[in-house]
Amino acid sequence: MITALLVDDHMIARAGLKCILRSIPTIKVVGEASGGLEAVELVKQLNPQIVFMDIQMPGIDGLETTRRILSFNKTVKVIMLSVLTEDPYPSRLLETGAVSYLGKGCSTEELMYAVSNVLSDKRYIPKAMAQQIALKNIKKDYYTIFDTLSLREFQVAQLLMKGMEVKAIAKLFFLNIRTVVAYRHQVLEKLNCTNDVQLLLLAKKLGLTPFYR
Alpha-carbon distance of 162 to 147, in angstroms, equals: 19
Q: Domains plus CATH for the chain?
A: 2-137 (3.40.50.2300), 144-212 (1.10.10.10)
pLDDT in tens, 166-213: 999 998 888 999 999 999 999 999 988 999 888 888 877 766 654 444
Please say whether the beta carbons of 55 and 62 come within 8 A. Answer: yes
- If one counts every other C-beta atom within 10 angstroms of the C-beta of residue 139, the result is 9
CA dihedral 181, 183, 188, 192 (to 10 degrees): 140
Q: What's the rounded Cα separation, in Å, for the pair 103 and 124?
A: 12
- CA angle 65/120/114 to nearest 5° reads 60
Strands 100-103 and 77-82: parallel
- Render pLDDT for 26-48 as a digit per residue (tens, 0 to 9): 899 999 999 999 999 999 999 99
Rounded to two decimals, what is the model's pTM?
Answer: 0.75
